[in-house]
C-alpha cells in the first residue's frame, strides 16, 4: 500500500491503570465499549499485523513511514496468559460480529482474522515492487477506512513487471502464542519418486510404455477369446504377471530405501527455544481435536542450561521434520541448518570473548563455494537475552521464497512490551541469513528464527525432482522387439495368404476342421499368438534379474568398499558413458589447503627448506620484541626499510642476513594481511586441552595463517580493530597492530588489502581483550599498507621486477594457487589525506564503487614493494590424477562444473591434470555483449584443441543467445571448466548435452548443490564426504571417493553392458529359434495355425530347460580387471554400442533361422509328419540340447556356476522325460534310432555356425581378444 491506515481516536489514558500491566480494564477490552482501545504496544500486536496504536509522539521507520506511540495502559503478557482466558470467554459472548471477533482474537493472541492468521503472507503492490513494498509498508489492514483503501488502490502503480517475484511477502511473529500456520509446507526432505497412490499408475505406465510388455499384454488378453486360445491360458498370463511383479518389486524396494534414508535426515534432532508455556489454540482449530488435546503439557524432554550467565535457556528437542516457520533454533558448531533461517544472536562459548554477533557458515552444499561466509546477527536481536520471552517481541518480514541463494530482502521489527519505548526496525540482508543445508562453522552458539521450510527453502527450489531413468540398452532392445513384431506380423500374413492359394480339401468324413473353417483374420491372429515367442516375455525377467546380480557385484567389490547402488535399473549405463560432468570441491579436491612454496625473489622455500624459514622467524622476532612499553612502533630491525631491494634483480651479492630479513617480512605480511579470526575451544578428545582453530571466508587464508604459525608466528587475536601476533618460540606477543582499513577480496578485484598501524607489543594484562577505548595513542605508530592478490592484477601494482611472471608461471604449472604479496609505507599525513578522500567517495550516491577504487589507486595501489609469492595447494582426492587420465584414455570427455572462483578452477584443472601440459586454456568471463560472445565462438572454432574456462555469467549469455552454436562447439573440446555455476546451471548443462549429443552423461558430486545435476544425468554418482550425504542419497550410485569411479565405469560398467547385451541376444535367439520351428511345421501342415509344442513343453523350454544356463551368462567376462584398466581404450567400443547393434542382431536372426529350419526340417524329413509324437520328441530334444551347447560356445571365461547350470539342466531334462508322456513317444526315446537322429541333427545345426565364428575371429579378432593374447 502506498498509504498508511488512518489512526483511530484514542481515549484519554486512565491514570489508575498506567502503572500496572497486571490489571485489565474490561471496558477498555470490550470492543462494544466506548472506551475500547487496541493494545498498542503489546507483543501480540504483531500477530495480526493490522492494528497499530498512535499518539502525538512519532518516530520514523523504514521507508519514511511515521509510527505513533499510544501512552494508554497496555495489556501485559501475564494477564493474557492467565486470567485473560476467562475474560476472553465473556468477550466472545457479548458480540458475534465477525470484525469484532477478529479484533478480539488478534488482541488476545488466540486467533487471527481471516486474512491474517499467525504466521501469514501479505500481498503488496507499490512503487517498491512486491518485495520492497511490503518491507517499507508492513502495516495497513482492517482499521483503515474504505475511502483510504480506495485511494490507495487508485494510487497504486500497475502490477510488477515480469521477472519480479509475484508471491506475497511473509510476516513472521516470534511470539510464543503465535500459531504456526498450516498453509506453510512441512520441513520434510523428500527424495522418493512415488507415493502409495501414484506407485501403481506410474510404474504400470512406465512398464507398458515398453513395446514388448504391451505386446504380451495384448497376447495374454487374447486368450480370453475361445477361438484364439492356444494351449493353457496360464502359460501366457503367469509369465506377464511374474515379469511385472519382479519389476514393480524392484522399484518398490528402491523407493522404500530412499524413504528410509529420507527418514534419517528428517528424524535428526534440533534444539528449539521453549517458553515452557503451552499456547492457547484458536477455537476453530481446538474444536477439531477430540481425544488428543494438543494443549496438554509437553511430553518432549526439556533442557535448561546457562548461556554466558545471561540466565536459563529452556529448549526442547524437535525432529527436523517437525520444525515450523517461526521456530527459534539453537545451533552449534558443525551442525547442519535444517531450514532457511535468520540469525538472531551469536553467543561465543568463551565468556571472555567479545560478543560481536559474528558467525561463519559453510555453504559448500548450497552453492559449491569453499569459502566460509561471514554472517552477522542484526544488532536489534543480538542485544536481547537468549530467551523465547525476549525474542517474542520480534517480528520478521521476509521476501517471498526464491532460488537466489545470494540475495535476500527483509526487515526485523522489535516491539517491546514497555509502553515507554517505541518499536524499532532494522533491515535484513543476505548477511543475516543461514540457508538450509549450510553448516555452522564457528564455535559460537547460534540462535536463528525459521522463515522458510521444506520445498520453499533455497536448497529445494534449486533442486529438480527425481525422474525415472531408462537405460539406453532397454531402448535399443525395445526397438529390436518392434522389428521382431513386424517380422511376426509379416510372417503371419504370408502364411495365411499362401494358405488361401492352396485348394481347400475337406476331411475324409466330409466335414471341415474348426481351424480350417475360421476366417482369415482369425488365422492371422492365431499365427501371431503362435509366434509370440519370437518376442520373449522372459527377456525382461532375465534382464531385471541380471541387473540385481550386477548391483550385488558392485556392492560386494572390496576394491570400492562403501559403494551403494541406489538405482538398480541402470547398471549397464555405466558402460556407455561418454561425458563426465564433475563437481570440484570435495569431489576432485579435499577442500584442504596447504601452503607448499614461498618465493622471495632469489630463493624459493618448499619442503624441508621450510626449516630455514623457521630459523629466520625465530631469530628476527625474538630480537624484535620491544623492551619498553612506551615504544609505539616497530623497531627498524623488524621491518626492512624500502631500499629498492625488491626491484634489484641481482641476487648474488645478497647476504644471508638480507635474505633472512626478506623472509621475515613476507611472514609478517602474511600474518597481518587476511580476514582470519582465531577461536579457542576445548578439545573433543581431552576437554582440559584448549585448541585454537581459525575461521575465515577463504580456506586459502586459513592455510596461510596456519603456515605462519608453523614457521613461528602465531595469530592469537583478531577483531575488527586490532591484530596480535605471538612468537611460537618465546610465547610472547611480539606484534600488535591497529586495523585502520580493510579492503576485502572480490572476484572482480582479485586482491585483498589492509592498512594497519603498529602498536606497542607489550601492554598491561589483559592485553588482547582491551576495548578500543583502552588502546594506546596511535599517532606515533608506523602505518603500512599490505596487499596480496592474484598475479594477473598484482603485477601491475608492484614495482618493476624481472622474476614475478616467471615464478608465478612455474607455480601455476605445478598446480599451485599463487598469491603475490606487497606492501607500502604511509606517512601520517598521507594516510589522513587518503582517509578523507576515501570517506568522501564512500558517501556518494552515484558511481560510489568506481570513485572509491580511484582513491585506492591513487594513494595505495601504486609502486608497492614486492615481498614474495606464495603457492597454495588445494589437496586433491586420492588418485585423482591417474583416474582422470584413465577416463580420458577411455574416450570420456570431462567437464568440471563448480561454484568456485575462476582462478581456483584454473589451478585445480591444472593440478588434477584435467588440462594436459602445454594445453591452451581459453578464459571467458564477465561477458555481457552478444558481439563479444560471437567473436569468442569464432575463435574457439579455430582452436578446438584448447580447454574452455568459462564463468556462470558468460555461460548464461551463451545459452540465451547462441545455445546451439555454443553446445555444438563445446562438446568438441577435450575439456571444459565452468565456474561460478549455480545448481540450476549445472543441471541445465547436463540436460543440454544429453539433448544435443544423444550420448550418455554421468554427473558426479558430493554436495547439495550437485543434486539437480546428478538427477538430470543418465548416471548420477554421489560421493559421501565432508559435505554430507545429500548428493549420495539422491544419486543412482554412491561411492566414497572419486578414484572409485574408474572401476565403476571401466570394470563394472563394461561387464554389466557386455553381459546384458549377450544375455538379451541369446534370449531373443531362444525365442526366435522355436518360432522358426513352428513356422516350418505350419508350412508342412498346409499353413494351418496349429501349435507344434503345447502346454508344458512351451513353459518348460523357457524356464527349467534353458533359463539357468542362459542366465549364467551374467557371470561371463571377456577380459579381467587388470586388462580393463591397462587398456582403457577398450571402453570406447562400448560407447559405440557394438555389443548390441543391428548388425549383431541380424547375425543372431540368421543363426536362429538356420538352426530352427535345420532342427524342424530334418526332424520332419528323418521322422515324418505322420509320426507326430516321435517327430516332437526328436525336434524338442535337439532344440533343448542345441541351446545348452550354444551357451557353452558363447562363454568366454568359465565360471563354476556355469558348469553346474549346464550339467544340472541337462540332467533335469533327461530326468523329466518320463513325465512328458503326453507329448513324447517314450518307447521311441529309448531306441537307437532316436539317438542317432538327435546327434545328426545337432551336428548339422551347430557345426557350421561354430566354424564360421572361429574363422571370423581368427580373421578379424575383436580388440578384447587381441589384448588377451598379449
Q: Is 441 helix (H, G, I), strand (E, B) or coil?
A: coil
Bond preceding residue 766 cis, omega within 30 of 0: yes
| CB contact at 8 A, 462 and 1034 | no
For every residue of 251-286, DSSP letters joined together read HHHHHHHHHHHHHHHHT-EEEEE--S-PPPPPHHHH
Task: Output b/e per residue, 61-79; b: 16+ Cβ within 10 A.
Answer: bbeeeebbbbbbbbbbbeb
Q: Is 1231 helix (H, G, I), strand (E, B) or coil?
A: coil
Spatial neighbors of 1243 by CB under 8 A, at least 6 apart, are none
Spatial neighbors of 801 by CB under 8 A, at least 6 apart, are 601, 646, 647, 649, 866
**Which positions are catalytic?**
583
Spatial neighbors of 1103 by CB under 8 A, at least 6 apart, are 538
User: What's the Cα-to-Cα distance from 164 to each of 59, 159, 451, 953, rounded to whole Å?
Assistant: 31, 10, 20, 19
For cell 543461514, the residue is 434
CB atoms within 10 A of CB 1086: 13
Report the C-alpha gap between 1264 and 108 in whole angstroms.
81
Report the C-alpha gap between 1032 and 1014 in whole angstroms.
9
Axis crossing angle, helix 1054-1084 with helix 1172-1194, rounded to the nearest 10: 160
Sign of the CA dihedral running 257, 263, 266, 271: negative
Angle at 670 between CA 361 and CA 824, to 5 degrees: 120
Provide the grid cell at 139: 502495516
User: What's the Cα-to-Cα distance from 694 to each of 308, 494, 675, 683, rounded to whole Å?
Assistant: 22, 83, 10, 14
Q: Is 977 helix (H, G, I), strand (E, B) or coil?
A: strand
Phi, psi of 1207 (to 5 degrees): -65, -45
| CB contact at 8 A, 873 and 596 | yes
- CA end-to-end span of the chain: 82
Sign of the CA dihedral running 604, 637, 669, 864: negative
Look at residues 272, 265, 317, 273 and name the one whose alpha carbon lies nearest to residue 460: 265
Report the C-alpha gap between 226 and 224 in whole angstroms.
6
Report the C-alpha gap between 148 and 866 in whole angstroms.
67
Provide the grid cell at 501: 492359394
Provide the grid cell at 1031: 548428493
Look at residues 651, 653, 657 and name the one whose alpha carbon lies nearest to residue 637: 657
User: What's the Cα-to-Cα distance from 482 to each of 210, 485, 488, 1139, rounded to whole Å?
Assistant: 10, 5, 10, 19
CB atoms within 10 A of CB 23: 13
User: What's the Cα-to-Cα distance from 212 to each of 243, 482, 655, 998, 1147, rounded to whole Å?
Assistant: 12, 8, 85, 23, 21
Provide the grid cell at 13: 489514558
Report the C-alpha gap between 236 and 234 in whole angstroms.
5
Which stretch of DSSP H or E encloses residue 948? strand 947-951
Alpha helices in 962-1010 (DSSP H): 963-970, 983-997
Amino acid at each position: 500500500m502506498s498509504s498508511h491506515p488512518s489512526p483511530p481516536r484514542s481515549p484519554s489514558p486512565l491514570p489508575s491503570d498506567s502503572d500496572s500491566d497486571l490489571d485489565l480494564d474490561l471496558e477498555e477490552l470490550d470492543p462494544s465499549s466506548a472506551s475500547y482501545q487496541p493494545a498498542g504496544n503489546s507483543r501480540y500486536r504483531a500477530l495480526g499485523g493490522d492494528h497499530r496504536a498512535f499518539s502525538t509522539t512519532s518516530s520514523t521507520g523504514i521507508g519514511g513511514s511515521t509510527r505513533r506511540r499510544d501512552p494508554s495502559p497496555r495489556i501485559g503478557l501475564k494477564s493474557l496468559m492467565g486470567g485473560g482466558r476467562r475474560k476472553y470467554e465473556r468477550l466472545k459472548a457479548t458480540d458475534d460480529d465477525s470484525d469484532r471477533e477478529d479484533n478480539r482474537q488478534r488482541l488476545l493472541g488466540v486467533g487471527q482474522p481471516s486474512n491474517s492468521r499467525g504466521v501469514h503472507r501479505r500481498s503488496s503492490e507499490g512503487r517498491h515492487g512486491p518485495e520492497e513494498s511490503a518491507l517499507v509498508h508492513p502495516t495497513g489492514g482492517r482499521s483503515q477506512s474504505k475511502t483510504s483503501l480506495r485511494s490507495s488502490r487508485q494510487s497504486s502503480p500497475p502490477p510488477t513487471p515480469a521477472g519480479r517475484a509475484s508471491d506475497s511477502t511473509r510476516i513472521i511473529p516470534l511470539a510464543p502464542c503465535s500459531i504456526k500456520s498450516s498453509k506453510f509446507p512441512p520441513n520434510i526432505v523428500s527424495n522418493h519418486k512415488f507415493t502409495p497412490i501414484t506407485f501403481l499408475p506410474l510404474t504400470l505406465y512406465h512398464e507398458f510404455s515398453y513395446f514388448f510388455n504391451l505386446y504380451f499384454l495384448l497376447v495374454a488378453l487374447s486368450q480370453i477369446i475361445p477361438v484364439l486360445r492356444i494351449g493353457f491360458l496360464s502359460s501366457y498370463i503367469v509369465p506377464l504377471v511374474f515379469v511385472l511383479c519382479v519389476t514393480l518389486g524392484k522399484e518398490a524396494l528402491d523407493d522404500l530405501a530412499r524413504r528410509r534414508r529420507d527418514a534419517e535426515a528428517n528424524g535428526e534432532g534440533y534444539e528449539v527455544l521453549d517458553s515452557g508455556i503451552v499456547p492457547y489454540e484458536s477455537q476453530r482449530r481446538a474444536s477439531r481435536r477430540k481425544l488428543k488435546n494438543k494443549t496438554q503439557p509437553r511430553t518432549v524432554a526439556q533442557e535448561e542450561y546457562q548461556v554466558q550467565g545471561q540466565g536459563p535457556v529452556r529448549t526442547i528437542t524437535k525432529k527436523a521434520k517437525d520444525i515450523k516457520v517461526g521456530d527459534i533454533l539453537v545451533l552449534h558448531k558443525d551442525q547442519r541448518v535444517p531450514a532457511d533461517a535468520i540469525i538472531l544472536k551469536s553467543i561465543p562459548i568463551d565468556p571472555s570473548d567479545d560478543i560481536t554477533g559474528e558467525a561463519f557458515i559453510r555453504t559448500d552444499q548450497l552453492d559449491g563455494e569453499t569459502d566460509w561466509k561471514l554472517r552477522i546477527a542484526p544488532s536489534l536481536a543480538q542485544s536481547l537475552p537468549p530467551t523465547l520471552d525476549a525474542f517474542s517481541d520480534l517480528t520478521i518480514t521476509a521476501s517471498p521464497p526464491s532460488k537466489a541463494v545470494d540475495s535476500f530482502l527483509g526487515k526485523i521489527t522489535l516491539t517491546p512490551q514497555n509502553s515507554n519505548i517505541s518499536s524499532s526496525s532494522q533491515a535484513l540482508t543476505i548477511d543475516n541469513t543461514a540457508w538450509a543445508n549450510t553448516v555452522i562453522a564457528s564455535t559460537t552458539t547460534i540462535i536463528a528464527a525459521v522463515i522458510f521450510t521444506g520445498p520453499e527453502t533455497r536448497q529445494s527450489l534449486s533442486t529438480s525432482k527425481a525422474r525415472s531413468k531408462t537405460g539406453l540398452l532397454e531402448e535399443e532392445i525395445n526397438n529390436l522387439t518392434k522389428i521382431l513384431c513386424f517380422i511376426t506380423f509379416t510372417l503371419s500374413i504370408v502364411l495365411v495368404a499362401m494358405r488361401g492359394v492352396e485348394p481347400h480339401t475337406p476331411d475324409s468324413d466330409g466335414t471341415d476342421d474348426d481351424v480350417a473353417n475360421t476366417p482369415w483374420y482369425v488365422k492371422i491372429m492365431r499365427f501371431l499368438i503362435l509366434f509370440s515367442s519370437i518376442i520373449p516375455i522372459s527377456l525382461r525377467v532375465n534382464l531385471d534379474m541380471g541387473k540385481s546380480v550386477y548391483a550385488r557385484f558392485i556392492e560386494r567389490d572390496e576394491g570400492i568398499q562403501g559403494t551403494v547402488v541406489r538405482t538398480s535399473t541402470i547398471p549397464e549405463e555405466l558402460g556407455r558413458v561418454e561425458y563426465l560432468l564433475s563437481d570440484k570441491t570435495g569431489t576432485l579436491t579435499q577442500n584442504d589447503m596447504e601452503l607448499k612454496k614461498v618465493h622471495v625473489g632469489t630463493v624459493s622455500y618448499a619442503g624441508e627448506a621450510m626449516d630455514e624459514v623457521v630459523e629466520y622467524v625465530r631469530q628476527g622476532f625474538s630480537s624484535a620484541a620491544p623492551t619498553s612499553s612506551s615504544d609505539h612502533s616497530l623497531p627498524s630491525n623488524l621491518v626492512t626499510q624500502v631500499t629498492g631491494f625488491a626491484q634489484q634483480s641481482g641476487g648474488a651479492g645478497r647476504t644471508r642476513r638480507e635474505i633472512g630479513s626478506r623472509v621475515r617480512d613476507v611472514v609478517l605480511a602474511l600474518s597481518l594481511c587476511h580476514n582470519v579470526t582465531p577461536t579457542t575451544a576445548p578439545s573433543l578428545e581431552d576437554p582440559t586441552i584448549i585448541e585454537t582453530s581459525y575461521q575465515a571466508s577463504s580456506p586459502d587464508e586459513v592455510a596461510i595463517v596456519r603456515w605462519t604459525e608453523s614457521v613461528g608466528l602465531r595469530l592469537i587475536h583478531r577483531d575488527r580493530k586490532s591484530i596480535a601476533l605471538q612468537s611460537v618460540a618465546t610465547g610472547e606477543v611480539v606484534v600488535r597492530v591497529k586495523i585502520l582499513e580493510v579492503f576485502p577480496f572480490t572476484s572482480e578485484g582479485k586482491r585483498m588489502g589492509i592498512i594497519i598501524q603498529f602498536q606497542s607489543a607489550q601492554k598491561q594484562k589483559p592485553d588482547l581483550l582491551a576495548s578500543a577505548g583502552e588502546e594506546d595513542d596511535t599517532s606515533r605508530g608506523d602505518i603500512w599498507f599490505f596487499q596480496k592478490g592474484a598475479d594477473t592484477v598484482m603485477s601491475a601494482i608492484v614495482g618493476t621486477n624481472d622474476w614475478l611472471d616467471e615464478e608465478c608461471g612455474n607455480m601455476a604449472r605445478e598446480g599451485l594457487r599463487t598469491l603475490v604479496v606487497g606492501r607500502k609505507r604511509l606517512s601520517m599525513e598521507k594516510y589522513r589525506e587518503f582517509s578523507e578522500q576515501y570517506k568522501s567517495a564512500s558517501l556518494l550516491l552515484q558511481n560510489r564503487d568506481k570513485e572509491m577504487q580511484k582513491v585506492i589507486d591513487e594513494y595505495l595501489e601504486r609502486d608497492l614493494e614486492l615481498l614474495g609469492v606464495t603457492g597454495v595447494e588445494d589437496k586433491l582426492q586420492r588418485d585423482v590424477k591417474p583416474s582422470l587420465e584413465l577416463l580420458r584414455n577411455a574416450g570420456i570427455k570431462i567437464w568440471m562444473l563448480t561454484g568456485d572462483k575462476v582462478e581456483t578452477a584454473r589451478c585445480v584443472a591444472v593440478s588434477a591434470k584435467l588440462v594436459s601440459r602445454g594445453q591452451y586454456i581459453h578464459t571467458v568471463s564477465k561477458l555481457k555483449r552478444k558481439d563479444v560472445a560471437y567473436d569468442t565462438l569464432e575463435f574457439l572454432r579455430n582452436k578446438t584443441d584448447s580447454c574452455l574456462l568459462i564463468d556462470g555469467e558468460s555461460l548464461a549469455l551463451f545459452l540465451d543467445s547462441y545455445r546451439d552454436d555454443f553446445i555444438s562447439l563445446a562438446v568438441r573440446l577435450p575439456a571444459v571448466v565452468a565456474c561460478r555455476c549455480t545448481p540450476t546451471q549445472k543441471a541445465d548443462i547436463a540436460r543440454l548435452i544429453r539433448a544435443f549429443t544423444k550420448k550418455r552423461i554421468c554427473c558426479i558430486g558430493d554436495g547439495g548443490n550437485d543434486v539437480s545435476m546428478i538427477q538430470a544425468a543418465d548416471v548420477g554418482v554421489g560421493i559421501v564426504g565432508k559435505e554430507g550425504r545429500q548428493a549420495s542419497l539422491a544419486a543412482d550410485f554412491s561411492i566414497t571417493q572419486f578414484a572409485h569411479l574408474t572401476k565403476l565405469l571401466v570394470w563394472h560398467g563394461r561387464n554389466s553392458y557386455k553381459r546384458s547385451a549377450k544375455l538379451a541376444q541369446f534370449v531373443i535367439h531362444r525365442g526366435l529359434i522355436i518360432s522358426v520351428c513352428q513356422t516350418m511345421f505350419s508350412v508342412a501342415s498346409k499353413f494351418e495355425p496349429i501349435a507344434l509344442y503345447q502346454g508344458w513343453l512351451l513353459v518348460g523350454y523357457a524356464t527349467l530347460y534353458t533359463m539357468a544356463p542362459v542366465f549364467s551368462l551374467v557371470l561371463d567376462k571377456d577380459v579381467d580387471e587388470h586388462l580393463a584398466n591397462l587398456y582403457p581404450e577398450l571402453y570406447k567400443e562400448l560407447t559405440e554400442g557394438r555389443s548390441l547393434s543391428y548388425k549383431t542382431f541380424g547375425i543372431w536372426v540368421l543363426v536362429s533361422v538356420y538352426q530352427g529350419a535345420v532342427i524342424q526340417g530334418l526332424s520332419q524329413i528323418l521322422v515324418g509328419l505322420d509320426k507326430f509324437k516321435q517327430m516332437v520328441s526328436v525336434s524338442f530334444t535337439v532344440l533343448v540340447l542345441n541351446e545348452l551347447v550354444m551357451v557353452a560356445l558363447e562363454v568366454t571365461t568359465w565360471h563354476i556356476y556355469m558348469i553346474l547350470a549346464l550339467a544340472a539342466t541337462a540332467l533335469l531334462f533327461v530326468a523329466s522325460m518320463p513325465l512328458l508322456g503326453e507329448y513324447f513317444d517314450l518307447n521311441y526315446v529309448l531306441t537307437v534310432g532316436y539317438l542317432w537322429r538327435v546327434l545328426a541333427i545337432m551336428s548339422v545345426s551347430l557345426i557350421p555356425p561354430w566354424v564360421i565364428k572361429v574363422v571370423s575371429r581368427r580373421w578379424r579378432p575383436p580388440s578384447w581378444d587381441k589384448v588377451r593374447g598379449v
